[in-house]
A and B are shown apart, each in its own frame.
Chain A
Amino acid sequence: MIPLGFYLVVSAILFSIGAYGFLIKRNIITLFMCIELMLNAVNLSFVAFARYYALLDGQVFVFFVMAVAAAEAAVGLGIIVALFRNRQTLNVDETNLMKW
């Protein structure tokens, strides 16, 4: 018997690490990895709740989240490659064309 709160706390910790990393990191690939980490933290909550309520819907949602993450990774890494080709940098601070 593992308390549900444990899973939620682990999920919250992982999500917070991802969010913090997204704020402090400057490399665009690392930012992307932080997004993946946040998605995984949410997946953990989904599976824990699915187990807790003895329903499978949570696991089906994790399936969809994974599909979206795969699509996102494909397009996002394509954007990164295109960005690198045009600007020769992976630093997000140097990519400020659309900033005020």
Chain B
Amino acid sequence: MEIAVFLFLSGIAIVAAANILVQRHPIYSALSLIVTFVALAGIYIQMHAEFIAVMQIVVYTGAIMVLFIFVIMLLNAGAEQKVPDKVHVVKYFGLPLASLLIFEAGLTASRTFDGEGIPVESASINLSGNTEMIGRALYTQYALPFEVTSVLLLVAIVGAIVMAKKEL
């Protein structure tokens, strides 16, 4: 049962991700990417990473992708033109190389972690108060990286304002 849910969700994620490449218009790619993100959030919930799942929906789907769609609408981006030259080499070498990357990663994963599974339903692991534990870790062990993150976001705000100015 668990594995069926997992395979269903990951199937949706992979098909939607492949659809990003198939679609020529960026708005369809963006919508496919949203489907991928939601499916991933489902996988996170199944792994009992509820905080990450909610963050996935709120931050990725709710903020980042809305920003993407906003920019696509703002720039009135049309469909990608068919470009006959230049990309051919990449297109024909890229697919075998990407498949090789998948194959290699799968081989390594199955060899290293052969037969070991993730206890999806076990309550023995003390992760029940997941969000609380993450909050505690963020403010104790990872306090410095957390503060640096806030500085990073400040820098990003300043950078975005500079980019949006009339002349660069």
Whole-angstrom distance between the alpha carbons of A19 and B17 in the complex?
A: 11
Asked if A71 CB lies within 8 Å of chain B CBs, one says yes
A80-B75 in contact (CB<8A)? yes
A27-B106 in contact (CB<8A)? no
Q: Which residues does chain A contribute within 8 Å of B6, judged by CB atoms?
A: 2, 6
B67-A44 in contact (CB<8A)? no
- A19 to B: closest C-beta gap in Å: 6
What are 5 A-B pairs at a CB distance below 8 A?
A2-B118, A56-B137, A59-B52, A63-B138, A82-B163
B133-A73 in contact (CB<8A)? no
A82-B168 in contact (CB<8A)? yes
Given A9-B105, A20-B95, A81-B74, output 5 extra A-B contacts at Cβ < 8 Å.
Answer: A30-B29, A37-B17, A47-B52, A74-B157, A86-B168
B75-A81 in contact (CB<8A)? yes
Q: Which residues does chain A contribute within 8 Å of B77, judged by CB atoms?
A: 27, 29, 90
A73-B68 in contact (CB<8A)? yes
Whole-angstrom distance between the alpha carbons of A27 and B160 in the complex?
A: 21
A12-B102 in contact (CB<8A)? yes
B105-A8 in contact (CB<8A)? yes
Interface residues of B: mostly helix, strand, loop or mixed? Answer: helix
Asked if A98 CB lies within 8 Å of chain B CBs, one says no
Q: Which residues does chain A contribute within 8 Å of B74, judged by CB atoms?
A: 81
A67-B149 contact in complex given A20-B94, A74-B157, C-beta closer than 8 Å = yes
- A50 to B: closest C-beta gap in Å: 7
A33-B29 contact in complex given A13-B14, A24-B91, A66-B55, C-beta closer than 8 Å = yes
A56-B116 in contact (CB<8A)? no
- B109 to A: closest C-beta gap in Å: 4
Q: Which residues does chain B contribute within 8 Å of A40, judged by CB atoms?
A: 36-37, 40, 60
Asked if A100 CB lies within 8 Å of chain B CBs, one says no
Q: Which residues does chain B contribute within 8 Å of A75, judged by CB atoms?
A: 156, 159-160, 163
